[in-house]
Structure 1
Amino acid sequence: MRFVRVLLVLLLMVGVAGVSVWRGWISLPPQWNPWAPLDVKAKPNLLTRYKLMLLRDDSQLCEQALSSSGLRVAPQADSPDAKCPLNEALRVQGGNVALSSSFLASCRLAVSFALFEHHALQPAAQTVYWQAVTRVDHLGSFACRNVYGRENGRLSQHATANALDIAGFRLADGRSISVLKDWPKDNQDARFLRQVRDGACDVFSVVLGPDYNAAHRNHFHVDVGPWWVCR
């Protein structure tokens, strides 16, 4: 009984604190304020995933987060395709890092990609190589198909521009790092790729790489769908 009373008091205190922050009676740094927009350039914390979840159903909030990302994007006309309609899609053209080609993305995917670049990719490159990544090589994002291209089954996250397949990276000194060629090795390139994979798991819902299955031997599949998997 005493435990229940203590729990109720704690819940009441949390509720009062939450209302106080929401009403502006207590000021918190934006990154620790659950009602403040997501700042892509701020270091991720325990609230980052929560704020990413809010973007799924709030296009205005997502656009606000994207404006802090530094990504160059171009809005795309809505596509009424019966099987794979695209609404409010963006074409990501690059930012601080170049792309092997532009790609279609939902706003949420674009925001997560920007978080990945700022807080996973570049820190891993600086840690392992003491230099920046200048280009991301990818195999594409949008594809109107089922998972693994099967005739029957559920639609892939690629079918809603919620997924991207990343194949490799180019460093400032011109070196290229390939998921296919370098993942199996026991050297700094393999260590870099594993740090990149682990960092991606913090900002994407699903990350699948060579350790998952043979179909992903040459790329990291990253998406912002409803499931949480890091392999």
Structure 2
Amino acid sequence: MTRRWPLIALVLFATLAALAGGGAWLAHRYKLIPAGDDPWARLDLDAAPGWFTKYQLGKLRDDPVACFAALKAARISYQAMPDEPIVNGCGFADALRWQGEKARFKEPVVLTCAMTAALVLFERQVIQPAAEHYLGSRVIRLEDYGTYSCRNIGREEGRRRSEHAKANAVDITAFATANGRRAAVAADWGAMTRPEGKFLLAVRDGACGLFAVVLGPAYNTDHQDHFHLDMGPFSSCH
């Protein structure tokens, strides 16, 4: 009798797992849970992030049709870009030219669709709420070091190509608000007695829940003056 307990436990576990899986599918089928908490749902850029938002964003890298549909549903204006054949590790596909939503880049930037979708969520769900809380105003300008650039990581010979070489990354240096405040990574990171420092920490932490890689001053001196954000195949948050 004692020997039967492992088998009984296994059958019971499998039954409970099947019931849980069936319940989750029914919840998806009848939209009983938020889109961000539904692993089968398509990304909704109007919805608050949930347990599976980062997973949904990652899926867009291999599904440009779903990605552009998500941008359209979220009313994002952009200029489509023809593919740039990848030669020697540089080029891009499924990219667009975009200047931002409420928080605008000085000039339109070239980004992959998946990277743009992540930035839309980043502004709506991270940047603007943090800016209103800590800086008392909304961000209207994003200062940056650029997006697409045919180069290696750190611009160092012998290293692999950066995600910038595929228009799949952006380096943001500062955030400027409508009330005239400016939070600059170089000047304000770590200044936790000032609103700008608290804002930057909140922005970095929020970015880690959306982008595959987030690198800033906490990573190394190469990133002491900017946040590097990308949607590449690796995962890192610093």
Q: Same fold (TM over 0.5)?
A: yes
In 1, Cα distance between equivalents of 2:38 and 2:53: 10
* Aligned partners of 2:170 and 2:230 also within 8 Å: yes
Choose which of 146, 160, 168 in structure 2 pairs with 1:162: 168
Matches of 2:221 and 2:74, distance apart in 1: 33
Of residues 88, 98, 106, the one that matches 1:92 is 98
Do the aligned partners of residues 184 and 64 (structure 1) sit closer, same or farther apart at CA in structure 2, a change above 3 Å counting?
same
8 A Cα contact 1:62 1:111, kept in partner: yes
Q: TM-score, normalised by structure 2?
A: 0.89
2:226 is aligned to: 219
Given candidates 132, 135, 138, the residue that maps to 2:141 is 135
- Residues of 2 paired with 1:227 and 1:9: CA distance? 35
Helix, strand or coil at the partner of 1:138: strand
Pairwise CA distance, 1:47 = 1.8
Cα displacement (A) at 1:198: 0.7
SS of the equivalent of 1:72 reads coil
The 3-state SS of whatever aligns with 2:160 is coil
Counterparts of 1:202 and 1:70, CA distance in 2: 23
The number of aligned residues is 229
2:148 pairs with 1:104? no
Structure 1 residue 105, shift from structure 2 partner: 0.5
Q: Which runs of 5+ in 1 are unaligned?
A: none
Shift of 1:98: 1.6
The aligned residue for residue 48 of structure 2 is 43
Q: 1:28 — aligned with what?
A: 32
- Render the CA deviation track for 1:35-74: whole Å, top value 9, x for unaligned: 3321112100012122112212111111111223443211
Could you tell me how far 1:201 is from its partner in structure 2? 0.7
RMSD over aligned Cα atoms: 1.8
* Cα distance, 1:97 vs structure 2: 1.8
Please tell me whether residue 59 in structure 1 is matched to residue 89 in structure 2: no
Aligned partners of 1:136 and 1:169 also within 8 Å: yes
Larger Rg: 2
The residue aligned with 1:230 is 237
SS in 1 for 2:158: coil
Secondary structure at the aligned position of 1:105 is classed as strand
Q: Is the 8 A contact 1:205 1:225 kept in 2?
A: yes
Is 1:200 matched with 2:207? Answer: yes
Q: TM-score, normalised by structure 1?
A: 0.92
Per-residue Cα deviation, 1:170-211 (whole angstroms, up to 9, x for no partner) = 111122221111114331111111111111111111111111
* Kept in 2: contact 1:158–1:164 (CA 8 A): yes
Give secondary structure in 1 for the equivalent of 2:92: coil
Q: 1-side partners of 2:32 and 2:203: how far apart?
A: 31
Q: Distance in 1 between matches of 2:86 and 2:50?
A: 38
Counterpart CA distance in 2 for 1:52 and 1:81 is 23
Give me the whole-angstrom Cα distance separating, in 1, the residues matched to 2:9 and 2:54. 30
Partners of 1:55 and 1:108 within 8 A in 2: yes
Matched-pair identity in %: 37
In the TM superposition, what is the alpha-carbon distance from 1:226 to its structure 2 partner? 1.4
